[in-house]
A and B are shown apart, each in its own frame.
Chain A
């Protein structure tokens, strides 16, 4: 007697199995294309490992492209020619330009729906303001952006009899410090070195007058530039005094941040203003000179009139999802991953098995390759506020990071570099004595208004 039911059963079973298998495969078969500039492996071999590690973590096949140079150009070319990416690395200002052109996906709903990204303990609510346009979110974060603060060479300060923790946080206080340290510093030593040509690192000094760096947008939409106001004159004149008395390195007017760092690190400058992360890097770079001849020690600068401090944070480094992305959910998954402990470790320490290994107790041991990468595969300070660093930081970095609450972001828009150029142009003249503080500030105001920076 033929029993067709028996033959049907194995067929049905096979079908069900096949379906569930394809279901499982579909989950691991999704693709994600990323265009990156900083985040990722340091060379092509490492990039392959990085992609795999990331892919495994989010259950997708990840391809990462990293142009060798001219990143801005390449982004334009790829998008303009219709290439499809799911995630593109950018700096916050660039995000605004692309959003204006309607080239980005609105991520607000994805963020609110995500348990990780909407958790304010992981990413504070006001962080998202940096990537909002008209209240809608257009990017995710690559890392926690750190602030800039005063770094003083503690070793030289000690030799000059200065207790770095007891420095008076006023312009006069620092003036005295520069004078004293110059006496021990010797030939070619200067008290302060700044990068005036970019008007980048002067916030700790203008804090003394309570003036914020950059453009300040008021509620009614008007824009002012505090550095170009009358209240700013005393600070500019303080800088001019330092220059005239040989306490400010003349190269401040022409040198780049690279020059400034070189001088500080090799003991030719007493004080600079630089990233919190660099406090540690300076100390690492010093090698054997640390801590006897050189120690970078962080300070919050001058005090504002109401007793607080004022520091500046950098532009956020972010990930945008282009409007023509193929896999938006996948992209959001990656953003979530970056905000986890595991993700943070990938972006800072690197790839397990390549940059580091764990010993029996789970402690992290760096390989030689990992050491040379300085714990930076895109996010030396991962975005999650809950992230626990397995190693700890280079000397004095934790102290530097403790000042983060005093820091705020500078406003950034299409006219920001015009602002910077104008302030730097006249700032240079004030500092080298060509113009008086009042004249310089007036000239700044005039040109800023003419260019539409001040509204």
Chain B
């Protein structure tokens, strides 16, 4: 190998000192421990028998393993249909959203674009609008556009978020302009610059946002509840919410025990966790970015 001076071999490894490493570990352990408790609680309660699940407090291990909670959820709710609906809406929505948001983010990175600041502010502004202000208008709007009780309605509402646009802009800002310049000099069109330079170099950011947007769409409840009254179009959170909080009336006796409620929660979160474990490869940066060396 290159023996650029034996000094190279005498340098300590480029890491934190053992003490610092230990502290690092301790910190992460603390985070890990506190965060795993509620998850264990949800899991444990979901596998507990009906009466035992009513016990107050944080249960970390079922007194008796049973799938009674899951059975209740299964018989009470049409999960397969809801699962299909959620998947369709979230996948299509996220795909379109990422395309549009990243393009918009790219536009906001162009330094000399006239009205660039105004556009950014405009988009930022849309994030400030509280839901209560548009509560009734959103329903009326969807009605006018004929989007009630439809897949289009579920996909189009909340399709684009200023959050993703501005975050994509942020990640794009660390892409060196020189690359874009040289591509433009070579007569490359904007789309080409965008797709072949900016996107690949922002992959971790892009992946993170894609995943978070998917989660957001999957968990969306407020607007779907507003515009969907046909049970065949219910998304998974709607079905599970309906189940878990069926006892809304003041003195009804239709009671859903905690084990079924927690089972419903587990069922709604499992797809996201599975997706996350797959997406992690991008999120921890398994892909090296060769272009910077270019």
Residues of A within 8 A of B (CB): 37-38, 42-45, 47, 65-71, 73-74, 76-78, 80-82, 91, 145-146, 251, 255, 259, 261-263, 265-266, 268, 275-278, 280-281, 285-287, 289, 314-315, 317, 369, 372-376, 378, 380
Q: Are A73 and B248 in contact (CB under 8 A)?
A: no
Q: Are B238 and A68 in contact (CB under 8 A)?
A: yes
Q: Are B253 and A375 in contact (CB under 8 A)?
A: yes
Report Cα–Cα, A408/B242, bound state, in Å: 32
B contact residues around A145 at 8 Å (CB): 250-251
Q: Are A38 and B238 in contact (CB under 8 A)?
A: no
**Nearest Cβ distance between residue B118 and chain A, in whole angstroms?**
33
Q: Are A266 and B54 in contact (CB under 8 A)?
A: yes
Told that A81-B136, A261-B54, A289-B51 touch, could you supply 19 new A-B pairs with CB distance under 8 A?
A38-B248, A42-B246, A42-B254, A66-B229, A68-B225, A68-B239, A68-B241, A69-B242, A80-B139, A80-B140, A262-B56, A265-B54, A266-B56, A277-B251, A281-B255, A285-B54, A317-B250, A369-B75, A374-B253
Q: Does B77 contact A (CB under 8 A)?
A: yes
Q: Does B257 contact A (CB under 8 A)?
A: yes
Q: Which of A38, A43, A262 contacts B252 (CB 8 A)?
A: A38
Q: List 12 A-B contacts (CB under 8 A).
A: A37-B248, A38-B249, A47-B231, A68-B238, A73-B135, A73-B226, A77-B136, A266-B55, A266-B56, A281-B253, A372-B75, A378-B252
Q: Are B231 and A315 in contact (CB under 8 A)?
A: no
B contact residues around A91 at 8 Å (CB): 250
Q: Are B251 and A275 in contact (CB under 8 A)?
A: yes
Q: Are B51 and A285 in contact (CB under 8 A)?
A: yes
B contact residues around A68 at 8 Å (CB): 224-225, 228, 234, 238-239, 241-242
Q: Does B245 contact A (CB under 8 A)?
A: yes
Report Cα–Cα, A315/B77, bound state, in Å: 29
Q: Are B51 and A77 in contact (CB under 8 A)?
A: no
Q: Are B238 and A69 in contact (CB under 8 A)?
A: yes
Measured CB to CB, the nearest residue on chain B to A81 is: B140
A contact residues around B250 at 8 Å (CB): 91, 145, 314-315, 317
B contact residues around A76 at 8 Å (CB): 135-136
Measured CB to CB, the nearest residue on chain B to A315 is: B250
Within 8 A of A (CB), among B235-267: 238-239, 241-242, 245-246, 248-255, 257-258
Interface centre among A43, A66, A255, A315 (most CB of B within 10 A): A43
Measured CB to CB, the nearest residue on chain B to A394 is: B253
**Nearest Cβ distance between residue A264 and chain B, in whole angstroms?**
9
**Nearest Cβ distance between residue A312 and chain B, in whole angstroms?**
11
Q: Which of A37, A67, A69, A74 contacts B249 (CB 8 A)?
A: A37
Report Cα–Cα, A109/B225, bound state, in Å: 36
Q: Which of B56, B222, B229, B234 contacts A268 (CB 8 A)?
A: B56
Report Cα–Cα, A274/B224, bound state, in Å: 35
B contact residues around A380 at 8 Å (CB): 251-253
A contact residues around B241 at 8 Å (CB): 68-69
Report Cα–Cα, A259/B53, bound state, in Å: 11
Measured CB to CB, the nearest residue on chain A to B230 is: A44
Q: Are A70 and B56 in contact (CB under 8 A)?
A: no
**Nearest Cβ distance between residue B179 and chain A, in whole angstroms?**
48
Report Cα–Cα, A88/B225, bound state, in Å: 17
Report Cα–Cα, A265/B56, bound state, in Å: 10
Q: Are A287 and B251 in contact (CB under 8 A)?
A: no
A contact residues around B78 at 8 Å (CB): 43-45
**Nearest Cβ distance between residue A35 and chain B, in whole angstroms?**
9
With A73-B226, A77-B139, A78-B139 as known contacts, state yes or no: A262 contacts B253, CB within 8 Å. no
Q: Does B52 contact A (CB under 8 A)?
A: yes
Q: Does B39 contact A (CB under 8 A)?
A: no
Measured CB to CB, the nearest residue on chain B to A45 is: B78
**Nearest Cβ distance between residue A363 and chain B, in whole angstroms?**
22
A contact residues around B248 at 8 Å (CB): 37-38, 71
A contact residues around B136 at 8 Å (CB): 76-77, 80-81
Report Cα–Cα, A80/B245, bound state, in Å: 25
B contact residues around A38 at 8 Å (CB): 248-249, 252
Q: Which of A82, A255, A265 contacts B51 (CB 8 A)?
A: A265
Report Cα–Cα, A257/B111, bound state, in Å: 58
Measured CB to CB, the nearest residue on chain A to B245 is: A69
**Nearest Cβ distance between residue A422 and chain B, in whole angstroms?**
22
Q: Does B281 contact A (CB under 8 A)?
A: no
Q: Does B192 contact A (CB under 8 A)?
A: no
Report Cα–Cα, A281/B50, bound state, in Å: 13
Report Cα–Cα, A420/B236, bound state, in Å: 35
Q: Are B251 and A42 in contact (CB under 8 A)?
A: no
Report Cα–Cα, A196/B254, bound state, in Å: 24
Measured CB to CB, the nearest residue on chain B to A89 is: B249
Report Cα–Cα, A80/B135, bound state, in Å: 10
Q: Are B226 and A77 in contact (CB under 8 A)?
A: yes
Measured CB to CB, the nearest residue on chain B to A68 is: B238
With A68-B234, A145-B250, A266-B54 as known contacts, state yes or no: A74 contacts B255, CB within 8 Å. no
A contact residues around B38 at 8 Å (CB): none
**Nearest Cβ distance between residue A203 and chain B, in whole angstroms?**
15
Within 8 A of A (CB), among B128-178: 135-136, 138-140, 143
Interface centre among B225, B234, B252 (most CB of A within 10 A): B252
**Nearest Cβ distance between residue B200 and chain A, in whole angstroms?**
41
With A44-B231, A68-B239, A259-B56 as known contacts, state yes or no: A285 contacts B245, CB within 8 Å. no
